[in-house]
A and B are shown apart, each in its own frame.
Chain A
Amino acid sequence: DAGVIQSPRHEVTEMGQEVTLRCKPISGHNSLFWYRQTMMRGLELLIYFNNNVPIDDSGMPEDRFSAKMPNASFSTLKIQPSEPRDSAVYFCASSCTTFGTSYNEQFFGPGTRLTVL
């Protein structure tokens, strides 16, 4: 099993540019989570999907951020336009989730380090 795959691993861009982060969850997992990690705010949940449907996007900081999950094996997180304060590590995680029952272990990808100059 390849685990959760994220690309790119590192992204450096200039303020105002569009950034797209990609995630491939573990095959068979039905939930996908996007997190942002910064020194100041720690690990924050941005949005999560269940069966490709966005369930809660209340963590998305503003309209510049958008996420899609067109199918069970692919998700994107887009920032447009990017700003220096978006610099962070963005993690994708997936799980085989049945809400309301037993715990759902999340498996994390390696993260994408985004730097906006």
Chain B
Amino acid sequence: AQTVTQSQPEMSVQEAETVTLSCTYDTSESDYYLFWYKQPPSRQMILVIRQEAYKQQNATENRFSVNFQKAAKSFSLKISDSQLGDAAMYFCAFDSGNTPLVFGKGTRLSVIA
């Protein structure tokens, strides 16, 4: 069974600075997808970024980028130029295409003005 581990329950970052959230996963699959979801205080789950395992190039969406290390089974999220609106819970998730998403426990990010 696939597992997703987020080792940082809480993180904080100064506004305009950069922060990296960690995620590791375990799978025997070779083709899969990885996601980062954001959950602000409104509770809404918002897809931030996704990465296809067969692509070596790291995904980027504006200020959000990932560092995908397939051999190490690592999938970290980097947020550049952090903004107050980035404060939220962030969940890493794994999708093999054959089973539903498997989520990590989440990292609560605080942004300090």
Contact = CB atoms under 8 A, between A and B. Distances in A.
Interface of A: 33, 42-43, 45, 48, 56, 89, 91, 93, 99-106, 108, 110-111, 113
Contact of B98 (A48, A91, A99): A99
Interface of B is mostly: loop
Contact count band on B = 10 to 19
A42 B98 contact: no
Interface in B63-113: 91, 95, 97-101, 103-106
B44 A108 contact: yes
B45 interface: yes
Residue from A43, A89, A105 with most neighbouring chain B CB atoms (10 Å)? A43
A95 B42 CA distance: 21
B43 A89 contact: yes
Contacts of A43: 91, 103, 106
Contacts of B105: 42
Contacts, number: 43
A62 to B, nearest CB: 20
Given A43-B91, A110-B44, 6 more contacts: A33-B101, A91-B45, A93-B45, A101-B97, A103-B52, A105-B50
B97 A104 contact: yes
B21 to A, nearest CB: 15
A30 to B, nearest CB: 13
Contacts of A108: 44-45
Given A103-B95, A104-B95, A45 B106 contact: no
A102 to B, nearest CB: 7
A42 B106 contact: yes
Interface in B15-51: 33, 42-45, 47, 50
